Amino acid sequence: MNHFCKLVAMTLFPFGLVLAIPSHAQTTLPAGEAGAAARASPLPDLERRAALGDTSAAEMAGEFLYVGQTPDGIAVRRDWHRARGYLSQAAAAGRPQARLLLERIDSSPPPSAPDEELYVPGPYGC
């Protein structure tokens, strides 16, 4: 019985070594590079495509600029003026969602700039 266990151990040991050696296929990007690639905003690419006449890209770029973020949750700076330009381009091509967003922009008051001094109540204010 003891001889059988040694035989099994000697047979399985080389397989364990092969599995324990790291392969180059398992290497990953450093955390900074992987995070930067994952967080890259699609907005510049959409704006470039919209400038070339892609109405779908113009509609998406206008929506991102109107809402202030991409569907992935990446924050972009809200810019209703640029959003209106892209949505006008898409609405002129007959895109209904762009027309709805354009009507919403036209019927809404423009966003106000944040006040420099905000009132903070309680022990932290004044």
pLDDT tens digits, one per residue of 19-59? 666 555 555 555 555 444 444 568 889 999 999 999 999 99
Q: Inform me whether the pLDDT recorded for 125 exceeds 70.
A: no
CA 101 to chain centre: 21
Length of the chain: 126
pLDDT of residue 63: 93
DSSP state of 88: H
pLDDT of residue 43: 87
Please tell me the pTM assigned to this model: 0.57
Burial 28-58 (b: 16+ CB within 10 A, else e): eeeeeeeeeeeeeebbeebbebbeeebbebb
Percentage, residues of the chain above pLDDT 70 = 57
Are the beta carbons of 59 and 86 closer than 8 angstroms?
yes
Domains defined for the chain, CATH in brackets: 41-107 (1.25.40)
**Which of 59-63, 64-68, 122-126 is predicted with the least confidence, judged by mean pLDDT?**
122-126
Dihedral sign for Cα atoms in the order 98, 104, 107, 113: negative
